[in-house]
Amino acid sequence: MPEREFPEPGSDEPEGDLLSDWLRRTAAAMPDAPAIIEQDRVEEDRITSFGELFEQAAWLAVRFVEHGIQKQDRVALVLPKSTDAIVSVFASLLAGAVYVPVHPQWPKERIEATLADCAARLVIEGEGSPPRITDRETGESIPWHAAAAGRSDSCGEHLPPGGDADDPALILFTSGSTGRPKGVVVSHRAVGAFVKWSAREFHLCSTDRIACPSPLSFDLSTFDIFNMAWCGATCVLVPDHSVWMPRFLVQFVREARITCWYSVPSILAGMLEEGRMAQHDYPGLRVVLFAGEVFRGADVARLQSAVSQAVCANLYGPTETNVVTWCCVPRDFDGSQPLPIGQPCPYATVTMDATSGELLAGGDSLMSGYWNRLEDTQRAFVNVEGKRYYRTGDRVSRAPDGNYFFLGRLDRQVKRRGFRIELGEIETALASREDILEAAAVAVEDGKMGTAIVAFVRTRSAGAVSLLEAKAHCARMLPLYMVPDHIVFLDAIPKGSRGKIDYIALSKTAETLGHASPSQAATNQAATNQAAPDNGDQDRSPAVHR
Amino acid sequence: MEIKTAVRQFIAENVLLGIHQTTIEDTTPLVTGGLIDSIGMIGLVNFLETRFKVEFVPREIDVHSLNTLEQIDELIRKKLASQQAGAAGSGQQIR
């Protein structure tokens, strides 16, 4: 396979530096090399070369422009992770538009609200191939016609001239504490800074096979698809139905000869435990990166020993900043101490608020702001010595060697299986149901299961809402990863002297719930009843519902 | 062998932790109804494989094929039948 014949990562790029230019250059340099491999449902791999990927994307981009799509218009991709979805990403970028990845399994209402929030001009959706492209205002559709035209030499000429690296490239929607997801606007420059650094640091090249385990709506996926475009590496899509099945994932890494893996720790923890990762060899696997949540020291050590030939590294940074610090796992890491989040990446500047211990992050990878939320954007940033920093909300400490350690959150944001969750959004969702008067949610550590979410609700009358109804309501309003594990019905939510919800008391109650095994549950019931004040569920004998 | 009963029991014990008696109907949506998420699915699949001595392949793990007791029942029956047919035909053939 040809090595990169175009400018090396980090060198000056003559034509500006848009993510779409990367694909254009790579496709010109190595048109026949595989760009995307997708395992089909019928188990036949669909392989798309860089030439084909660029042609399809450019053909589609021209249709977008003909349709009247303007620079920085939003194109929403409500698509499963697929070749078509990645074609759509680059088609949007080549047309000068901003892509907005939306997970197709989000509840319908949430998807609609997101499309309305970002005022998407086009929506690309559908489970099958090819997807449907619809103009949201007029209802008109644009044909997909992937690859129908064959090699077309006119593709690139009808595309708008390149934009600015500070133009937005994508908007990622994350959980919002008031109940409405927030759109994080990310520029070409921000993605570029991270991707180019990672390519250099981990020596990624055209012979690499990078797995793509994350949904496109998750910032981790930018590493996979844009390193493909930047380095000419092959991006191997991990089928959505395998992502949480550890034993299939382990098999996937072996059979797809993955060389580079980047996911949340929860997925790796599953691969180590249920997937028995350590029992197999992965000769090609040379880079394993993780980010998004705390990876327990002991698990990190297990990972390092399971893939001893690979470089393992912890990458840190919220969606708003992408990765800003990182730490390579030492070969002799024994897991007795937590792994630091490390030291700043070269494109990032980080500092610590002296009073609160909050980590402040700035530099090229910073988001442009929240979409259409001026006040939130203003609150999110702070100026220190003339530089703009994002307030991460993460409390950290700094060791004498310069390494930062994550200590906890300053607010009520939690991570569950790597997904970022504002507990307030769960409360808002629960309270929006008829007959639920009040709701409070807390997160507890649930042993092997990781973080569990316990919601406490007060209903209009005892038994007005059943557990199944409450859960089903959450599933209609929230992504599945935000649906509480346990729901406890109370007569009154405990309050402090100023009338604010006493989350500390609720957390204590929640901790007594999570660890009860089925057999213990009945015997623990009495204790639980005492801990949970005034249980309101009268129609069934157990006082506390889970 | 009553597949639905076994699965209902499993969910009552492991998802609802056995302390509440909400009845799960044959058509109650388990995944889209917010009862079982991705991690819960791992537990359910492990249970089904052990209890019914079947083996799943990646593409069978799907919200659409494992969302209700009815669907689970149908899938397990199908898998058992094809295993039997395979065993009768070639001695052993489990995909």
Q: SS in 3 state form for A1-14? A: CCCCCCCCCCCCCC
Q: Are residues A317 and A434 in the same domain?
A: no
Q: Are residues A175 and A314 in the same domain?
A: yes
Compare CB distances from B17 to A239, A245, A516 and report the shortest one's residue.
A516
Burial grade of A116 (CB within 10 A; 0-12, 13-18, 19 or more): exposed
pLDDT at A316 over 80: yes
Q: In terms of CA atoms, which chain B residue is nearest residue A249?
A: B58
pLDDT band at A280 (very low <50, low <70, confident <90, very high): very high
A8 part of a folded domain: no
Task: Provide the domain count of chain A.
Answer: 2
Mean pLDDT on A155-179: 86
pLDDT at B87 over 90: no
Q: Which CATH number does the domain housing residue A182 bear?
A: 3.40.50.12780
pLDDT tens digits, one per residue of A198-227 = 999 999 999 999 999 999 999 999 999 999
pLDDT at A545 over 70: no
The answer to whether A382 and A376 are in contact (CB under 8 A) is no
pLDDT at A386 over 70: yes
Q: Are residues A262 and A139 in the same domain?
A: yes
What is the rounded distance in angstroms from the CA atom of residue A493 to the CA atom of residue A506? 8
Mean pLDDT on A386-404: 96
A355 part of a folded domain: no
pLDDT tens digits, one per residue of A239-278 = 887 887 899 999 999 999 999 999 999 999 999 998 999 9
pLDDT at A45 over 90: no
Mean pLDDT on A466-485: 91
pLDDT band at A46 (very low <50, low <70, confident <90, very high): very high
Q: Which CATH number does the domain housing residue A422 bear?
A: 3.30.300.30
pLDDT at B74 over 90: yes
Chain B residue numbers with beta carbons less than 8 Å from the beta carbon of A241 are 58-59, 61-62
For the sheet containing A486-489, what is the strand order? A436-445, A451-459, A486-489
What is the rounded distance in angstroms from the CA atom of residue B66 to the CA atom of residue A480? 15
Quick one: pLDDT at residue A314?
A: 98
What is the phi-psi region of residue A462: left when phi exceeds 0, alpha when psi lies from -120 to 50, beta otherwise? Answer: beta
Q: In terms of CA atoms, which chain A residue is nearest residue B28?
A: A468
The domain of A36 spans 19-147+161-343
- Chain A, 217 to 246: residues with Cβ < 8 Å from chain B are 239, 241-246
Chain A residue numbers with beta carbons less than 8 Å from the beta carbon of B42 are 244-246, 270, 274
Buried b (16+ CB within 10 A) or exposed e, B24-57: beeebbbbbbbbbbbbbbbbbbebbeeebebebe
CB-CB under 8 Å, B17 with A239: no
A404 part of a folded domain: no
pLDDT at A535 over 80: no
Quick one: pLDDT at residue A518?
A: 37
Domain closes at, from A311, A343, A375: A343
A302 part of a folded domain: yes
pLDDT band at A146 (very low <50, low <70, confident <90, very high): low
A383 part of a folded domain: no
pLDDT tens digits, one per residue of A435-448 = 999 999 999 987 76
> For strand A311-316 and strand A358-363, is the pairing parallel, antiparallel, or unpaired?
unpaired
CA distance to partner chain A, nearest, from residue B40 (Å): 9
Q: Is the pTM of this model over 0.90?
A: no
Q: Are residues A519 and A424 in the same domain?
A: yes
CB-CB under 8 Å, B34 with A483: yes
Chain B residue numbers with beta carbons less than 8 Å from the beta carbon of A248 are 58, 61
pLDDT tens digits, one per residue of B38-57 = 778 888 999 999 999 999 98
pLDDT band at A327 (very low <50, low <70, confident <90, very high): very high
Q: In terms of CA atoms, which chain A residue is nearest residue B39?
A: A244
pLDDT tens digits, one per residue of A352-374 = 999 999 999 999 999 999 999 99
pLDDT tens digits, one per residue of B7-41 = 988 888 777 765 555 678 899 999 888 888 877 88
pLDDT at A40 over 90: no
Structure tokens, A314 = 């912890």
Compare CB distances from A525 to B16, B19, B35 and report the shortest one's residue.
B19
CA distance to partner chain A, nearest, from residue B2 (Å): 21
Which residues partner with A142 through β-bridges?
A133
A281 part of a folded domain: yes
Q: Are residues A336 and A421 in the same domain?
A: no
pLDDT band at A191 (very low <50, low <70, confident <90, very high): very high
> For strand A358-363 and strand A387-398, is the pairing parallel, antiparallel, or unpaired?
antiparallel
Cα separation values, A370 from A73, A206, A327, Å? 16, 34, 28
A417 touches chain B (CB under 8 A): yes
Q: Are residues A320 and A442 in the same domain?
A: no
Of chain A, the percentage scoring pLDDT greater than 90 comes to: 78
- Disruptive mutation site among A444, A466, A468 for chain B (greatest number of B CBs within 10 Å): A468
CB-CB under 8 Å, B18 with A245: no
Chain B residue numbers with beta carbons less than 8 Å from the beta carbon of A419 are none
Q: Are residues A449 and A336 in the same domain?
A: no
Q: Are residues A443 and A337 in the same domain?
A: no
CB pairs under 8 A between A and B: 89
pLDDT at A156 over 70: no
pLDDT tens digits, one per residue of A87-143 = 999 999 999 999 999 999 899 999 999 999 999 999 999 988 899 999 999 999 999
Domain closes at, from A317, A343, A369: A343
Domain closes at, from A343, A372, A404: A343
Q: Are residues A301 and A432 in the same domain?
A: no
Compare CB distances from A546 to B20, B41, B46 and report the shortest one's residue.
B20
Domains of chain B: 3-90 (1.10.1200.10)
Of chain A, the percentage scoring pLDDT greater than 70 comes to: 88
pLDDT band at A57 (very low <50, low <70, confident <90, very high): very high
pLDDT band at A404 (very low <50, low <70, confident <90, very high): very high
A480 part of a folded domain: yes
Q: Are residues A139 and A270 in the same domain?
A: yes
CB-CB under 8 Å, A245 with B19: no
Q: Are residues A189 and A291 in the same domain?
A: yes
CB-CB under 8 Å, B28 with A245: no
Return the SS3 of A177: coil
CA distance to partner chain A, nearest, from residue B29 (Å): 9
A402 part of a folded domain: no
Mean pLDDT on A371-395: 96
Instruction: Give me the residue label for tokens 């860089």.
Output: A50
Q: What is the DSSP letter of B66?
A: S
Structure tokens, A475 = 């599933």
Q: Are residues A116 and A24 in the same domain?
A: yes
pLDDT band at A514 (very low <50, low <70, confident <90, very high): low
Strand (E) or helix (H) holding A479:
none
- Disruptive mutation site among A110, A245, A271 for chain B (greatest number of B CBs within 10 Å): A245
Compare CB distances from B39 to A244, A466, A542 and report the shortest one's residue.
A244
